[in-house]
Amino acid sequence: DGGITQSPKYLFRKEGQNVTLSCEQNLNHDAMYWYRQDPGQGLRLIYYSQIVNDFQKGDIAEGYSVSREKKESFPLTVTSAQKNPTAFYLCASTSAGELFFGEGSRLTVL
């Protein structure tokens, strides 16, 4: 089945630690995205990549980093510089404007 797979689904981290969230897609989409969802807020764009080996900052990129070495994969690293990392993270991909989302990863910082 084609789709977007995010892992892990739940993740706990201590303050000061970096953590990497995985996102893999087998839809052959060129563009991939990372969003963050917080209670009472819409989805906010962290980073996006239109093509392999290229990525752009979204609206809230500070404290995050990404890589796009393969078309299928777009991992997101939440660094210790991110002041409020506890959130629900969503990866998405698209080929024609409509986003297809993964199941999400919930990160909790203890």
Partner 1 sequence: DQQVKQNSPSLSVQEGRISILNCDYTNSMFDYFLWYKKYPAEGPTFLISISSIKDKNEDGRFTVFLNKSAKHLSLHIVPSQPGDSAVYFCAASARIGTASKLTFGTGTRLQVTL
Chain residues in the site for partner 1 (CB under 8 A) = 4, 6, 9, 31, 33, 40-45, 48, 50, 56, 58, 88, 90-92, 94, 96-104, 106
How far apart are CB 17 and partner 1 at their closest, in Å?
23
How far apart are CB 16 and partner 1 at their closest, in Å?
27
**Which is closer to partner 1, CB of 8 or CB of 81?**
8
Which residue, among 73, 74, 48, 75, has the nearest Cα to 60 in the 3D structure?
48
How far apart are CB 75 and partner 1 at their closest, in Å?
17
How far apart are CB 71 and partner 1 at their closest, in Å?
16
What are the structure tokens assigned to 5, written together? 């797979």
C-alpha 105/C-alpha 102 separation (Å) is 9
**Which is closer to partner 1, CB of 15 or CB of 98?**
98
